[in-house]
Chain A
Amino acid sequence: DAEITQSPRHKITETGRQVTLACHQTWNHNNMFWYRQDLGHGLRLIHYSYGVQDTNKGEVSDGYSVSRSNTEDLPLTLESAASSQTSVYFCASSEGSGRVYEQFFGPGTRLTVL
């Protein structure tokens, strides 16, 4: 069965370190998204991609970057981790172009920045 996976599931890091969270989908979806989930805020969009070599900033993109070198993967990088980036991160994917499609979510990565 097609799926979307995230790794690691839990990560503890220190302020200032670079961190990369992996997202891999086997749906062959063009669209991929990264969200962060914080209490009282729901899910907020960090970055998204509509295809290989395409990346776009979302609502809360400061301090984060993504790159899309193939259809399956959209890694999220925290350039210099800050305590404010302690959160649960979700990756999602959907079919692309034209119509409206549901997004499929990964299981999430809980990141703690000390």
Chain B
Amino acid sequence: AQSVTQLDSQVPVFEEAPVELRCNYSSSVSVYLFWYVQYPNQGLQLLLKYLSGSTLVKGINGFEAEFNKSQTSFHLRKPSVHISDTAEYFCAVTQGGGNKLTFGTGTQLKVEL
């Protein structure tokens, strides 16, 4: 069975500072990885995805993530955050075959002035 761990439930950061949100997964087979963002009182929106190819994936709003197979990680990064990045971020994994997603518990990013 696959699982996703997001160790940081909350990450406070000042505006214009860099940020990294951590995601580790466990699976015995090949996986496909996603980061979703949820703004207050809204549904989830795809930030980026890793399906194959380059391990460095760029997404919307200046976010990027790196797939590291040896460390089973898919950490999300942004070099300079903005107040509008305040949201909850979810890492998710699927093994394909119908696209069922397993989500992590989420990381609340709070950007402060």
Contact = CB atoms under 8 A, between A and B. Distances in A.
- A interacts with B: yes
Q: Which 4 A-B pairs have the closest CB atoms?
A: A105-B43, A42-B103, A42-B105, A105-B44
Given A40-B105, A41-B105, A42-B105, A100 B43 contact: no
A40 B102 CA distance: 14
Interface residues of B, number: 25
Nearest to B50: A100
Interface in B56-101: 90, 94, 96, 98-101
B90 A101 contact: no
Interface of B: 4, 6, 32, 34, 36, 41-46, 49, 51, 90, 94, 96, 98-106
**Category for how many chain A residues contact B:** 20 to 34
Given A42-B90, A108-B43, A94 B99 contact: yes
B106 to A, nearest CB: 5
Contacts of A35: 103
B90 A43 contact: yes
B46 A102 contact: yes
Contacts of B105: 40-42
